[in-house]
Amino acid sequence: MSIFGLTPMPDHVQSREEREFGSATDVVALDLLDVDPEVWTHRHTELIRTAAQDPAVIRILVNAAIKKALCREAGADRAWLFKVRPWYGHAEHFHVQIGCPADSADCKPPAPPPPRDGCDNELDFWFKESTLHPPPTKPKPPLTLAGFATRMQADRQSAVIATGHVSGQYDACITDIVVVVLLDACTRDRQCPRNRTTRRRSVVRS
């Protein structure tokens, strides 16, 4: 399972400290019901669309608010939406599950998502009050690049739940790769969403 960040290209060459410990960009609105229009851009949609259209990709995990935005912005070509699945947290990054390598005899292919776009009433559960505001838990610190590897380990259990794999099969099939995707084109077009510190929220992040 690979992690892709939603933080745009910075407007300067970052120091090592900025690069390693700067907070990721949270694209979900404070009420958790949709994306934040001051941060979310069409480039985010195109980034996730491009990832989903890769034949090697089995599924992508995103925040439900991001899934709602993708459903709204997909247009006529909706064939890729079934790969994008809502999951807890994932407000500043998304996870990509890749299929088995061709040369891996021990890898068990993960089951693909149902062949539906996952929009409309399939999203209702994620916007219930009990889902948005579960009993409080100890908050996690803001996600940083330096913390991606540690978060990856914690995210394995979430991925196992989402994909139906037991941990042994999961580890045999998936190579953990930490990747930060920067929306470099937005700098050229001067349409970058402003970079913000990740906000603390009541939904448990995976």
The confidence score (pLDDT) of residue 8 equals 65
Residue with tokens 């807890």: 88
Residues 146-166, mean pLDDT to the nearest whole number: 57
Higher pLDDT, 195 or 76: 76
pLDDT of 41 over the 80 cut: yes
69/161 Cα distance (integer angstroms) = 24
The first and second tokens of residue 178, run together, are: 């930490």
* Mean pLDDT, all residues of the chain: 74
Q: What is the pTM of this model?
A: 0.63
Residues 53-68, mean pLDDT to the nearest whole number: 94
pLDDT tens profile 110-125: 888 988 999 988 899 9
What contacts 90, CB < 8 A, 6 or more positions away? 61, 62, 63, 66, 205, 206
Q: What is the DSSP letter of 112?
A: P
In the chain the domains, ranked by start, together with CATH numbers, are: 2-189 (3.30.1380.10)
pLDDT of 100 over the 70 cut: yes
pLDDT classification of 54: cutoffs 50, 70, 90: very high
Residues 58-77, mean pLDDT to the nearest whole number: 93
pLDDT tens profile 170-181: 343 333 333 333
Least confident of 14-18, 35-39, 105-109, 186-190: 186-190
Q: What is the DSSP letter of 84?
A: E
Beta-carbon count within 10 A of 160 CB: 16
Give the C-alpha distances (Å, rounded to integers) separating 191 from 38, 59, 186. Answer: 11, 28, 5
Residues 97-114, mean pLDDT to the nearest whole number: 86
